Structure 1
Amino acid sequence: MKRSILFDTETTGLDPATGDRVIEIAALELIDDLPTGENFHVLINPERDVPPEASRVHGFTLDDLLDKPKFAEIVDGLLVFIGEDEMIAHNAPFDFGFINAELKACGKPALDRKRMVDTLEMAKKRYPGLPNSLDALCRRHDIDLSARTTHNALLDCKLLSEVYLELMGGRQRGLGLAVSGSGGGVATYHANPDRKPRPMAPPDDETAAAHEKFVASLKEPVWLQ
């Protein structure tokens, strides 16, 4: 079985080199790309202010975080949870950069970037020329976004786990696992009669233009044959 960790951070800003800090970490355990239900989630006192523009993104103010533990107080628990397994994030270099800056400040070794799996890069390769934000990918795969009113690390992890499964090939929607036979315990897939067809909307002008530009850059693209 393959164990991996899917994670997300929320921060006070965009660049740890200028003093921005992590304020929230969420991580989900995956076994063979499926969530097990095990997770690590913590809010963190950043030991600095939280700019209003950051609060508008994730909804947290400094007052919300003053009574939370500092990163140094949660780092050992985080490292135990993530172990040595691969780590999956959307725009993973951003999250790795922040986590590694926090680890350095604690005197801990940085995460090896060989462990990094970036779902944004995966999405760009699968959907070249199309929007590949988490919201866009959820809409493309018919994943419910109704609870996502702000950037919340734990919710974003749960959404990304569904997106990641789709990027890895997915479980075909409308199929379910059933046991058939008399005591044989043979697993078979069957169609779900309640499955509703999902209409595919035509691309807008901007998306179509981006796709045409991408196709024009290819050698003998199949779209033109």
Structure 2
Amino acid sequence: MNLETVPHLLVVDVEGNGTNPPDLVEIAALPLRDGRPDTTTAGAWLIRPERPVTARAASIHGLTNDLLTNKPTWSELADQVGEFLGTDWICAHNAHVDYRALSHHLPKWEPAGVIDTLRLAKATYQGLDTYSLDSLIKHVGLDLSQAPRVGRHRAPYDAYATAQLLLAMARHYETWDQLIAAAVPPGLPGAPQPEQDPTLW
């Protein structure tokens, strides 16, 4: 299917400070419009966490405590981020992580549904050794020449890569309902409800 006909879909990615549960240090929300990522209207926020960024987390995404020292705190950004996300469908790779982190920070937020490109990839490209985002970028041969220049493991770049992955996989499905059945983890918003066995009453 072509996602041109699907309105209100945001591809999101979050980066944390390495604690458990994490403080958010970066969020990206990339709209899909007319079947392609719309970087001109994307949302991206850097956040100064309450607790320091761990050395391991900083080594992955490059967001150090010094870099974030003058950025807004979450309390200063929460309303803006929540308004941007609204009630749109969201998509993320290994979406449980992003949805859990965002829900923790935005307790009143409830998206229309949650598409997981990791779950969708396992249904679409069966038998791969690994389903990491890097491996899928290589397997599908995604063109990331127009991705934000911040680099891999930064939220804007990973959201763009995930969006391109979703668009590539959507071509394997004839309808939105088929894609949703393969892509939305049970228990998350938008998951198809199991059919009820008929009863006498």
* TM-score normalised by structure 1 residue count: 0.66
Cα RMSD over matched residues? 2.1
Matched, 1:117 2:115: yes
| Larger proportion of strand | 1
Matched, 1:73 2:76: yes
> Given the superposition, is the C-alpha separation of residues 72 and 33 from structure 1 closer, same or farther in structure 2, using an over 3 Å criterion?
farther
**More moved, 85-94 vs 135-144:** 135-144
Residue 110 of structure 1: CA displacement? 3.9
> Given the superposition, is the C-alpha separation of residues 25 and 57 from structure 1 closer, same or farther in structure 2, using an over 3 Å criterion?
same
For residues 88-131 of structure 1, give each alpha carbon's deviation from its aligned partner in whole angstroms, at most 9, with x where no partner exists: 00011100111111124xxxx1435x611111000011122312
- Aligned counterparts of 1:27 and 1:88: Cα–Cα separation in 2: 9
Say whether the 8 Å CA contact 1:135–1:145 is kept in structure 2.
no
Letter in 2 for 1:51: T
- 1:129 is matched with 127
Letter in 2 for 1:91: N
- Aligned counterparts of 2:19 and 2:143: Cα–Cα separation in 1: 27
- 1:84 is matched with 87
- Aligned counterparts of 1:115 and 1:141: Cα–Cα separation in 2: 25
- 2:11 is matched with 6
- 1:185 is matched with none
- Aligned counterparts of 1:158 and 1:145: Cα–Cα separation in 2: 8
Q: For 1:77, what is the secondary structure of its paired residue?
A: helix
- 1:187 is matched with none
> Given the superposition, is the C-alpha separation of residues 65 and 148 from structure 1 closer, same or farther in structure 2, using an over 3 Å criterion?
closer
Q: For 1:99, what is the secondary structure of its paired residue?
A: helix
Say whether the 8 Å CA contact 2:82–2:106 is kept in structure 1.
no
- Aligned counterparts of 2:93 and 2:165: Cα–Cα separation in 1: 10
> Given the superposition, is the C-alpha separation of residues 61 and 120 from structure 1 closer, same or farther in structure 2, using an over 3 Å criterion?
same
Say whether the 8 Å CA contact 2:82–2:109 is kept in structure 1.
no
Letter in 2 for 1:128: Q
Structure 2, unaligned stretches of length 5 or more? Answer: 173-201
Say whether the 8 Å CA contact 2:87–2:110 is kept in structure 1.
no
Structure 1, unaligned stretches of length 5 or more? Answer: 171-225
For residues 150-196 of structure 1, give each alpha carbon's deviation from its aligned partner in whole angstroms, at most 9, with x where no partner exists: 411001111111111001017xxxxxxxxxxxxxxxxxxxxxxxxxx
Bigger radius of gyration among the two? 1
Residue 58 of structure 1: CA displacement? 0.4
Say whether the 8 Å CA contact 1:4–1:33 is kept in structure 2.
no
The structure, 1 or 2, with the larger RCO (C-alpha pairs under 8 Å, 6+ apart) is 2
Letter in 2 for 1:73: E
- Aligned counterparts of 2:13 and 2:151: Cα–Cα separation in 1: 16
Letter in 2 for 1:136: S
Say whether the 8 Å CA contact 1:3–1:32 is kept in structure 2.
no
Percent of residue pairs identical: 35
Say whether the 8 Å CA contact 2:87–2:109 is kept in structure 1.
no
- 2:188 is matched with none
Say whether the 8 Å CA contact 2:12–2:90 is kept in structure 1.
yes
Residue 63 of structure 1: CA displacement? 1.1
Q: 1:95 aligns with which of 73, 93, 98?
A: 98
How many residue pairs were aligned? 162
Q: For 2:58, what is the secondary structure of its paired residue?
A: helix
